[in-house]
């Protein structure tokens, strides 16, 4: 695994997503109840910016057409998206968030 430091945990407020670029990959880091998850920032339906979507109960909604994804697994939960997004492992170390974009999260 090749974890890279992304940000401080306090910079991603609970119930929000924040977008970062790690090794040329745009990811949305999501804070769900104080736990952090990272997914691609690109909706598989039309390349919409998932990080700008609403995050509710572990699901993020694409702001363009309403496709929803599970932030833990990347699974597409409703139409118009049918393909999942990549989900990546996140580690919190001493208040900092580290993400490995080379390895998909275990589903």
pLDDT tens per residue, range 38-56: 999 999 999 999 999 999 9
β-bridge pairing 17-22 and 68-70: unpaired
Position 107 confidence tier, pLDDT thresholds 50, 70, 90: very low
- Domain map of the chain by residue range? 4-99
Q: Please name the fold of domain 4-99.
A: Rieske Iron-sulfur Protein (2.102.10)
| Beta-carbon contacts of residue 101 (< 8 Å; ≥ 6 apart) | 4, 22, 23, 25, 27, 38, 88
The residue with tokens 């001493």 is 94
Beta bridge partners of 10: none
End-to-end CA distance of the chain: 16
Helix (H, G, I), strand (E, B) or coil at 11: helix
Q: Is the pTM of this model over 0.85?
A: yes
Helix (H, G, I), strand (E, B) or coil at 30: strand
Report whether 50 contacts 40 (CB < 8 A). Answer: yes
CA distance 9 to 71: 17
Mean pLDDT, rounded, for 79-100: 97
């Amino acid at each position: 695994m090749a974890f890279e430091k992304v940000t401080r945990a306090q910079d991603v407020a609970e119930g929000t997503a924040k977008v970062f670029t790690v090794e040329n990959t745009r990811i949305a880091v999501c804070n769900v109840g104080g736990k952090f998850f990272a997914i691609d920032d690109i909706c598989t339906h039309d390349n919409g910016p998932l990080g700008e979507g609403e995050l509710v109960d572990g699901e993020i909604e694409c702001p363009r057409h309403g496709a929803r994804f599970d932030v833990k697994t990347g699974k597409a939960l409703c139409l118009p998206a049918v393909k999942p997004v990549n989900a990546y492992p996140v580690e919190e170390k001493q208040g900092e968030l580290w993400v490995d974009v080379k390895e998909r999260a275990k589903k």
